[in-house]
Amino acid sequence: METSQREDQQRAAARRRKELLEAADRVVLRDGPGASMNAIAAEAGITKPILYRHFGDKGGLYRALAVRHTDGLLAGLRAALDAPANRRDRVERTLDTYLAAIEARPQVYRFLMHPGEDSGQPESEQGFDAGRQSAPLLRRMGEELAQVIAERVDLGTGGEELARVWGHGIVGMMHAAGDWWLRERPCPRETLVRHLADLLWGRLAAAGDRTDGPGF
């Protein structure tokens, strides 16, 4: 009986946490980096101390939202990499998946990558360290992409190390180029995708597929 009651409480807590994250998403979509704990609590119909009880502080809420959005983005990137197409097309689809995601929800992107931009944050939230928070998100994406490359491309001796270098390098390129493109919009998205794919299309084009993996 106690076990069942504990499981019910855990399910209720998980459901409530999901509801709070959905409320936070709505505020972030509206306010971007300026989203405050006060606004999120108001959107959820609770007081700020209750919000703190679930996430600790704005950093805790940021990390929960980052996991939520990164999970979805990584699923999309993996689907693009595994699509039935030639390698060049899959590279372009993967780049486009990332750029399309940040284009579709620029306020979410800015909240995750530039959470310290807004100078009007409440004093209690001004210590929020944007770089320290966003770095783990980029590292996770780099490791995930490295794993995909290692599984699909025959890089020979030292391939695991090279896959990690490529994974983090590609993520860094996508992040930097996408950040610049989202701010300035110097060209259509498909043009940026093509130019970035051209930049990558060196040794990757020449490498063979792994015979013991799904191929790339």
Distance from chain centroid for Cα 26: 17
- Assigned domain for 1 exists: no
Q: pLDDT tens digits, residue range 137-196? A: 889 889 988 998 888 888 888 889 999 999 999 999 999 999 999 999 999 999 999 999
Q: pLDDT tens digits, residue range 1-10? A: 567 778 878 8
| Beta-bridge partners for 209 | 153
- Assigned domain for 155 exists: yes
- Assigned domain for 174 exists: yes
- In this prediction, residue 117 has a pLDDT band, given cuts at 50, 70 and 90, of low
The SS3 of residue 211 is: coil
Determine the pLDDT at residue 61: 86
Extended beta strands in the chain, E state: 153-154, 208-209
Determine the pLDDT at residue 201: 84
Q: Which two tokens stand for residue 24?
A: 């936070």
- Assigned domain for 65 exists: yes
Question: By the 8 A CB rule, do 88 and 201 touch?
Answer: yes
Determine the pLDDT at residue 81: 83
Give yes or no for residue 120 having a pLDDT over 60.
Answer: no
- Assigned domain for 50 exists: no
CA pair distance 4, 76, nearest whole angstrom? 36
Mean pLDDT in residue range 44-62 = 87
Q: pLDDT tens digits, residue range 58-116? A: 888 888 888 888 888 889 988 988 888 888 898 999 999 999 999 999 999 998 888 66
Q: Give the total residue count for the chain.
A: 216
- Assigned domain for 7 exists: no
- In this prediction, residue 41 has a pLDDT band, given cuts at 50, 70 and 90, of very high
Question: By the 8 A CB rule, do 112 and 134 touch?
Answer: yes
Q: Which two tokens stand for residue 2?
A: 């106690």
Please state the domain count of the chain.
1
Question: By the 8 A CB rule, do 98 and 114 touch?
Answer: no
Supply the range of the domain harboring residue 174: 57-209
The SS3 of residue 208 is: strand
Q: Which two tokens stand for residue 148?
A: 């995909």
Distance set, CA 51 to CA 16, 25, 166, 191 (Å): 11, 14, 39, 43
Is the pTM value of this prediction over 0.85? no
State the CATH number of the domain containing residue 65.
Answer: 1.10.357.10
State the DSSP string of 130-191.
Answer: HHHHHHHHHHHHHHHHHHHHHHHEE--TTHHHHHHHHHHHHHHHHHHHHHHHHHH--S-HHH
Q: What share of the chain is helix, strand, coil (3-state, %, to 5)?
A: 75, 0, 20
